[in-house]
Amino acid sequence: MKMLHTSVNVKDMGRSINFYTQKLGMKLESRREIRQNNAEIAFLSIEGSNHNIELTWWKDKADYAEGDQLDHIAFSVEDMDDFMGRMRSDGVEIAKEPYMLGTSRIAFIKDPNGIWIEIIERK
C-alpha cells in the first residue's frame, strides 16, 4: 500500500487554489468535476514531495462546521478485489463500493472514527 494524497474540503475552489499556488508555492496539477458526487476536485503538488493535496468543493454544501475540512486520506492498492475482501472479512465499514473513475477503480472505507479512506487501483 502507498499513501497518495490528503483531501481538504474547501468553500471556494478558486480562492483556495490561489492560496495554495500563490502563497504556498504549490503547482496545480489538475482540476475536474466529479459528477457522481456533485463535487469538484483539484490536485496540487509541491516540488520534492510525492504526497499531494486534493482540494474538494462539495457543490451542495453551503457551510462547514469546524473539523469538517479533512475529507479523506487516499492509498493505492495493487488488487482492489483482494483488498476489499480482506476489509469485509475484518468487519471494516465500506462507505462506497468500488466504481470506475477514468482508468482507476475507486472505493471508500471508514476508519473507527468515521474518517473516509479512499482506495485506488490504477490500471
Reported as a single tens digit per residue, the pLDDT across 8-57 is: 898 889 999 998 899 888 999 999 999 988 999 999 998 988 889 999 99
Name which CATH class applies to 77-123. Answer: alpha beta
Q: Is 115 helix (H, G, I), strand (E, B) or coil?
A: coil
Reported as a single tens digit per residue, the pLDDT across 25-39 is: 899 999 999 998 899
Q: Is 18 helix (H, G, I), strand (E, B) or coil?
A: helix
Residue with cell 465500506: 94
Same fold? 1-76, 77-123 = yes
What are the E-state strand segments in 35-78? 39-45, 52-58, 70-76
| Position 63 pLDDT exceeds 90 | no
pLDDT of residue 29: 97
DSSP H helical ranges for 1-123: 13-18, 80-89
Q: What is the mean pLDDT of residues 75-98?
A: 94
Catalytic residues: 118
pLDDT over 90 percentage in the chain = 57
pLDDT of residue 113: 67
Cell digits for 30?
489538475
Contact 77, 59 (CB under 8 A): no
Residue with cell 457551510: 63
pTM of the model: 0.71
pLDDT of residue 61: 85
Domain edges within the chain: 1-76, 77-123
> Among candidates 56, 59, 79, which has minimal Cα distance to 69?
56
Q: Which CATH code is given to the segment(s) 1-76?
A: 3.10.180.10
